[in-house]
Amino acid sequence: MFQLIIKFTHQTHRLAIKAATDKYNTKNTDEIKKKTVGIIVSVKNIVKYFPLFMLTKRPCLLYYTGLGRLYVLNGWIGKLLVFSTAYLLDRWCGVGFIVENQQNKEYFEKFVKNPVYLVSGSGLYPDYFNHMKNFKEKPYPNAQKTKRLGYIARFGPLKHSELILQIVENLSPTTEIFIAGRDVKSNFYKKKFQALAQKNSNIHFIGYLENHKQVSDFYNQIDFLLHPSMSEGLPLTLLESIFHHVPFITTPVCGCDETAHTFDCPAIPAEQFVDFILSGDYQKHMPDRQQWQKKLQPFYHYNVQKEFEEILQHTSSHKRVQ
């Protein structure tokens, strides 16, 4: 039996793993007398529940999401915390690890003994969105047409919001930008974006999007998505962008570069990102969207749920490596 621990994480992003866990537990009620395996989702939960699982030696399956914020923003202290908790749990009570990109998989496999599983993100739910049915309904803008850029994020250093601020401050009047989201801490970027939007008719600050309809409305009114980042698992934002037939420009970092390669979108180093956008060079990278929906299939929730089901099945029959 498995118990899902998702308290300090985005509940709506955990529907696929929750469905897989419920399905396994329903089918295997005979395992109720066995020791329950805890599935700890997100780095924040792993750190929080680390003492409990170490003290009780209760078996746990660790699903690393939100790795970038701790691993990247906190320097060697964050790296040490990620490494030490994973290493100790692996040696003491861990039965496996789940990650969302190949780079993280290779990193964990260097120092853990138990299996490291790779999943195709948290699962994209297409039925939640209202997108244009055919990418031909959303043609690329011609040379004369106003370009419409978009940026949606939790504003802060991890999402390179300072780069977006530079772009907005120097944006050509012939280019519009739509900004959605909110700050991780304080309201620094929100206030900056709002002030610029009040002064410039081509800058639109939308704020936090409350539901999937608002998310679809955001994507349906832009031509290109800007998604600079310092680190990701498998960015759901990029999958949503592809689903809405909107090409993206990102940075070549863990999680983003794999997605950019799959969907033939540019990944530009952070130090070149602002100039790349302001110069209009992004318009030279118009990916062929013919195969996008086919390539997106593995990331849909029903396929991701199958991946989780296979992981749980393997975990239940796998003998933990001491």
Say what the pLDDT of residue 144 is: 60
Q: What is the pLDDT of residues 182-231, one digit of tens each?
A: 999 899 999 999 999 999 999 999 999 999 899 999 999 999 999 999 98
Note every long-range contact of 160-167, with CB atoms under 8 Å and residues 24 or more positions apart, other chains counting: 160/228, 160/229, 160/230, 160/251, 160/270, 160/273, 161/189, 163/228, 163/270, 163/273, 163/274, 164/226, 164/228, 165/189, 165/192, 165/193, 166/274, 167/226, 167/274, 167/277, 167/278
Q: What is the pLDDT of residue 67?
A: 74
Q: Dump pLDDT digits (tens) for 152-166.
A: 999 999 999 999 999
Predicted confidence band of residue 243 (pLDDT cuts 50, 70, 90): very high
The rounded mean pLDDT for the chain is: 91
Burial of 162-179, coded b for 16+ CB within 10 Å and e otherwise, reads: bbbbbbbeebeeebbbbb
Using the predicted structure, report yes or no on whether residue 143 has a pLDDT greater than 70.
Answer: no
Q: In the predicted model, is pLDDT for residue 291 greater than 80?
A: yes
Mean pLDDT, residues 301-321 taken together: 94
Stretch 255-277: mean pLDDT: 96
The band of 80, judged by pLDDT with boundaries at 50, 70 and 90, is confident
pLDDT value, residue 196: 97
What is the rounded radius of gyration, in angstroms, for the C-alpha atoms of the chain?
Answer: 21
Tell me which residue has tokens 């490596």.
321
Span 85-122, pLDDT tens digits: 999 999 999 999 999 999 999 999 999 999 999 999 99
pLDDT cut 70: percent of the chain above it = 93
CA–centroid distance for 7 within its chain: 18
Q: What is the pTM of this model?
A: 0.92
- CA 90 to each of CA 96, 112, 163, 315: distance values in angstroms, whole numbers, following the listed order: 8, 6, 38, 14
Token pair 């802060």 is found at: 156
Report the pLDDT value the prediction gives residue 29, as an integer from 0 to 100. Answer: 83
* Predicted confidence band of residue 319 (pLDDT cuts 50, 70, 90): confident
Q: What is the pLDDT of residue 183?
A: 96
pLDDT at 16: 95
- pLDDT at position 50: 94
Residue 33's pLDDT is 65
- Position 134 scores a pLDDT of 65
